[in-house]
Amino acid sequence: MTQNQDHRSLLAVFDREMRQGARPDGPGVRVERTDDLVRQVGSDHDWNGVVWSSPDLDAERADAAIAAQVAHCTERGYAEFEWKLYAHDRPADLGVRLLAAGFVPDEPETLLVARVADQPVTVRLPEGVRLRTVRDEADVELMIRAHERAFGSDGSRLRRQVLTRLREDPEDFVGVVAMAGEEPVSSARMELYPGTGFAGLWGGGTAEEWRGRGVYRALIAFRAGIAAERGYRYLQVDATPDSRPILERLGFTVLGTTTPYVYRPAS
């Protein structure tokens, strides 16, 4: 199989299993399907949005689908609703149509996938750093502190989501924090998707002063080992520009880009 054929094959599997066949990503949410769209809906604290659109969507159907999502968001009273647009989605001007309807694009991320069997699972950490699995509320607070240090953003929503997962659906969730002494310096999550071959790597971030020492790679290896034990075939990441080069060096394949288009009703 050539590199291009492998790329197309991986992208087709991802679209089929993770988008068109999407499962709820946590308790209290559900997935709704029509011929043209797949979306996840829940409370205002959950992630709500479109994960898949039909590859044969034309301009008229696209506009109708977009209008329906705006009406849905407004009716449910969501603070925001996301349409997760991938570079290969159709029609080619779907992003322009979303923009015209009031959706605002956030920064694009790179979709990368790796075969679990090809990933190193030996965890190598800098001296004085250990990993702590997230199991209770105290661990969640450490995760949030590491997350806020790494990304400089408020972790309140993440805190609610992780606490809910630990309370109601812990089996398919993995959280891990890198500790330097008693200080959390990095954290990451993994979502396992039963019925698919994929495990999703999310939220990997390291405090600035600890970057470049292998902590991020160690968190990937830790999660890859768990994915292998659980029988998953692929790891998937929506990567920022900072993490993409590390992931490519580890053998992850770039499948394209994904851009979150967010609709926020006027208050």
CATH no., domain 120-250: 3.40.630.30
CA dist 245 to 84, 86, 216, 217, Å? 23, 20, 12, 11
pTM greater than the 0.85 cutoff:
yes
- In angstroms, what CA-CA distances link 136 with 60, 78, 83, 145, 167? 49, 29, 32, 15, 9
Domain 3-110+258-263 CATH (choose: 1.10.1760, 3.40.630, 3.90.1280, 3.40.50): 3.40.630
Whole-number Å distance between alpha carbons of 58 and 63: 9
Specify whether the CB–CB gap between 74 and 201 falls below 8 A. no
Using an 8 Å Cβ cutoff, are 202 and 165 in contact? no
Contacts of 69 (CB under 8 A, 6+ apart): 37, 39, 50, 81, 83, 263
Q: Do domains 3-110+258-263 and 120-250 have the same CATH topology?
A: yes
Q: What are phi and psi of 5, to 5 degrees?
A: -65, -40
d(CA 55, CA 26): 27
Question: Tokens for 173?
Answer: 């969730």
Residue of 59, 187, 181 whose CA lies nearest to 130:
181
Residue 267: the pLDDT is 64
Task: List the chain pLDDT tens, one digit each, 267 residues.
Answer: 676 778 899 999 999 999 999 999 888 899 999 999 999 999 988 899 999 999 999 999 999 999 999 999 999 999 999 999 999 999 999 999 999 999 999 999 999 999 999 999 999 999 999 999 999 999 999 999 999 999 999 999 899 999 999 999 899 999 999 999 999 999 999 999 999 999 999 999 999 999 999 999 999 999 999 999 999 999 999 999 989 999 999 999 999 999 999 999 986
Give dist(CA 220, CA 188) in Å, integer.
9
Q: How far apart are alpha carbons 255 and 4 in whole angstroms?
A: 10
Cβ(67)–Cβ(58) below 8 Å: no
Q: Where are the domains of the chain?
A: 3-110+258-263, 120-250
Residue 1 is predicted with a pLDDT of: 60
**Distance from C-alpha of 183 to C-alpha of 185, rounded to nearest angstrom:** 6
